[in-house]
Amino acid sequence: MDIIYLETDASALAEITGKLAVVMGPDGAMNTLTRKANTLMRGALKRLSEGEAWEKLAEGKGMVIKVPERMAASALLVLKSPRTPSAALARKLGASVAKFAGREPVTLALATQARAEEVLNGLVLRAYSFERHKSEPKEVAGKATVMANGAEALKERFAPLAAVASGVHFTRDLVNEPANHLTTSEFATRLQALEKLGVKVEVLEEAALEKLGMGSLLCVGQGSESPSKVVVMQWLGGGDEAPFALVGKGVVFDTGGISIKPAAGMEAMTMDMGGAGVVSGVMKALATRKAKANVVGVVGLVENMPDGKATRPGDVVTSMKGDTIEVINTDAEGRLVLADVLWYTQERFAPKGMINLATLTGAIMVALGHEKAGVFSNDDALCAAFLKAAEAEGEGAWRMPLAKAYDKLIDTRMADMKNTGGRMAGSITAAQFLQRFVKDGTPWIHLDIAGVASPGPTDMAPKGATGWGVQALNRLIADHFES
C-alpha cells in the first residue's frame, strides 16, 4: 500500500476529501485532530461519546458518520480506543479503517496516537484482495494518508512492519492461487524472483532428487504431469553461524491420489501448499527488512494426482534417510514430502533449529478448529519461544503431545513404518511419523496449519488465505536468532 505521511495540521482537516478516520477514547477523550473534527461538526462527536451506542461499541471498532457537517470528507469513521492500546488493539483499529475505506483512498487522522505504526500495520494487513483472475479485477485502493505528529519517525517505525506485511501478502497470493496457475514450476519461478531481494535460491529437479534418494517425496508426484521439485532459499544476513531452518509442504493440488478425496470441497485443495507458502513469505519478509540472521527455507513442491503411474496403497518406498515406508493411504502424502525435505535440510545445513509447516491433517481441525495451529515439538525451550511469539502476533497456536506410545499406531509388518495410523490421534501420529526424520539433538517444531492457513475472513484478512505464521516466525527469528 502506498502511504503518504503528513505532519499533524488541524487547519487542513476540513479540506480533506475521500474517507477520513479519527480516534476517540471510550470516555470521549480527543486528540488535536479529533477535537477539530468535533468543532467543525458543532459538537457531534462529543454527543456521540455520551450516547449508549458508543458505550456498547467494542474497542477497536468504529462508528460511521456519513457526509460529516462542514467537512469535505465523504464519510467519517470514529474509532474507539484507549489512550494507549495494546499492539493487538492498535492493529484492529487499522483493520477497521481498511474495511471502512473499501476501495477508496482514506486519511487516518492519528495526531499523537500511541502505537500508530501498529495501526498502519493492521490497515495494510487487512487491505488485501485477490481478484487477478476476474475479467475486470477491482483492486483494493492502494492509497492511504496518515496525519501524525512526527510523521517521518512514524514512517521509520513502520518500515520493518511493512516488510513483514509484504511477506504475509506474498504468502496469501501463493495460497490463493489456483493450481492450474501455480504449478510446481510456476511456484519455483516465483521463489526465484526473491533473488532480487538478496535471497540465494536453488531449484533441485527430479533427476537431482532421485540421485539424493528422495523416494518418499518423489512417490507423491509420480502420477502428475507437473515435475516434483525442491526449492532451497538461503538468507545469509548473519555471521558464520549455522542457519535456522524452515521447511514447508508444497502440494500445489491434492486429489488424494489413488485414495481419492470426495469431490465436494476438493477445490479447496489448492491451499495444500500452505506450509511452503508461509516459508516463502517469511523468507521474503526477512530479506525485505534485511534481517541479521542466517535462515534457510526449504520447500518440497509436488502435485498429488491419480494416474496409471501413481503410487498405490500398499506400495513400499524408501526415504532419503534409508527408512522404508508402506504407503497405505496416498492421501496422507504431505508427511511423505516432509520426511525427505527434513532429512535433506539437516544433512546439508546442520541447522541450529528447525520448524516445518504443513496443512497436514483434518484431525487438527477437529481438535482445534480454525482458531489455533497445532504445535508439536521435541524441545521445550524452542516451543515456548515460538508460542510466545505467536501470542504476541495474535496468531493462535496450541501445543499438542508427542509420546512413544503413539508410535505403535504407525508400525507395520511390511516396512519400517506406515504413513498413517488411522483416525485415532491422527494429527499426533502424523507428527510422530515426522519426528522419525529429525536427528537427535536438533531442536524441532512441527506446525500443523490445516485449520489456520485459509479459513478467512479474520480480523486481519479477508476471505481466503490468511498468511498465518509469517508474523510469528519473523518475530521468533528477530527475538532469538538475529545477531
Positions marked active-site: 261, 335
CB 328 within 8 A of CB 237: no
Rounded to a whole number of angstroms, the distance between the first and last alpha carbons of the chain is 30
Look up residue 338 and give its amino acid: L
Contact 21, 108 (CB under 8 A): yes
| Cell matching residue 307 | 494416474
- Short-list 234, 202, 184, CA closest to 337: 184
Grid cell, residue 341, equals: 525435505
Find out whether 469 and 395 touch, Cβ atoms under 8 Å: yes
Q: DSSP secondary-structure letter at 422?
A: -
Bridge partners, residue 248, by sequence: 299, 357
| Secondary structure E strands in 154-243 | 200-204, 229-236
C-alpha 385/C-alpha 480 separation (Å) is 8
Which residue from 301, 285, 221, 319 is spatially nearest to 476, judged by alpha carbons?
285
* Residue 362 per-residue DSSP state: S
CB 470, CB 285: distance < 8 Å: yes
**Which amino acid, one-letter code, is at 272?**
D
| 65 sits in which H/E element | strand 62-66
| 3-class SS letters over 215-229 | HHHHHHHCCCCCCCE
Give Dmax (Cα) for the chain: 82
Q: Which amino acid is at 259?
A: S
CB-CB contact of 252 with 360 (8 Å): no
What dihedral do alpha carbons 43, 49, 54, 60 form, nearest 10°? 100
